[in-house]
Structure 1
Amino acid sequence: MDVRVGAYAVIVRDGRLLLTHWNEHGRSGWTLPGGGLEEYETTEQAAVREVREETGYDAELRTLLGVDSLFLEPADRIVPGDGPLHALRVVYLARIVGGSLTHEADGSSDEARWVPLDAVGELPTLSLVPTAIDMLLRRLPADRTDGAGDATGPADEVAPD
């Protein structure tokens, strides 16, 4: 069984979630900016690098939202390989600190876009998006999730574990 570790960023600004359109190996869908670790790279470094590569933005990580463990059979893999895949997806809450929105050239993503939170469910997303939104909502204080479900306030308002 192959194991792949990826690092991703949840970035919400003005009621919109930053997403990238993954388009590779004949499959596509909207997902969070992020991806697999390179040699001798930490998950934090990978998340920041991937945000920059896929969106043009410089990001600052605020807190770890969680780690998702996903098992895929060979036919369901979206990354090359022959056998089953154990995907460990490390998800951070982040904020933009510089750069400007651009689309990745010659990579696995072909578009980056700010999507209103209430419209995310209308897009064809990869499974990571609802998983990460759930991680974020579980971190918000109770008074921030009473029907609003919006994570637009300062990142410091996210409750620690």
Structure 2
Amino acid sequence: MHFSDYDTRLAGYAVIVNEDREILLSWFNGGKEPAHALWTLPGGGIEFHESIEVGTIREIKEETGFDAELVRPLTTHTFTENRSNASRRRSAPRPFKGVRVVYQARITGGILGTLEVDGTTDRAEWLAIDSLTGIRHARIIDIGLEAWRTVA
């Protein structure tokens, strides 16, 4: 399929692990579908005018309250699905491709607390990495941690 035949969303995420082996996560409230609420990595969609790095740092700040710097890219992850964007364009549904870049990052300042207003992130917390098996979380966390473990 030619790239002009599907919609793409570019997103940047961060794996931030502290000295206590806790990972900084954001609570995604599910947006219009509260049943889809779960923990995820801080990050999200990159705006048209932003570089992936600048957008990822902005997303970290919005979702966690922390200033951060990116240490290194860890991995990329792509997925495809059928999504309807007909409500936005009044056209037939188009296939969708998500492209996610995951970075290792570190906190440089700020205070824990979500800055989003009327967004999809309700809070951020440090959670023990070992606790993830028992909580509802996005697959991107597992993808990011697997890549992080290869460089940590």
Name the TM-score class by shorter chain: 0.7 to 0.9
Partner-residue secondary structure (3-state), 1:125? coil
Query: Counterpart of 1:25 in structure 2: which amino acid?
Result: K
Residue 128 of structure 1 deviates from its aligned partner by: 0.7
Q: CA deviation at 1:72?
A: 2.0
Greater shift after overlay, 80-89 or 58-67? 80-89
Residue 129 of structure 2 aligns with which residue?
117
* Unmatched 5+ stretches in structure 1: 141-161
Following the alignment from structure 2 to structure 1, what is the Cα–Cα distance between the partners of residues 72 and 104?
A: 5
What is aligned with 2:13?
A: 8
Deviation at 1:62?
0.4
Separation in structure 2 between the aligned mates of residue 21 and residue 73 of structure 1, nearest angstrom:
25
Counterpart residue type for residue 45 of structure 1: V
The 5 Å alignment of 1:11-160 reads: 11-13=16-18, 14-23=20-29, 24-26=31-33, 27-74=36-83, 82-103=93-114, 104-140=116-152
CA shift, 1:70, in A, is: 1.2
Q: Distance in 2 between matches of 1:36 and 1:107?
A: 12
- TM-score w.r.t. the length of structure 1 is 0.79
Structure 2 unaligned residues grouped into runs of 5+: 1-5
C-alpha distance in structure 1 between counterparts of 2:124 and 2:95, whole Å = 29
Q: Structure 1 vs Structure 2: percent identity of aligned residues?
A: 36
Q: Secondary structure at the match of 1:84?
A: strand
Normalised by the size of structure 2, how large is the TM-score?
0.83
The residue type paired with residue 26 of structure 2 is T
Give the CA RMSD over aligned residues: 1.9
Amino acid at match of 2:69: E
1:113-141 CA distances to partner (integer Å, 9 max, x unpaired)?
Answer: 1000100121111121111111112233x
Equivalent residue letter for 2:147: M
- 1:132 counterpart SS class: helix
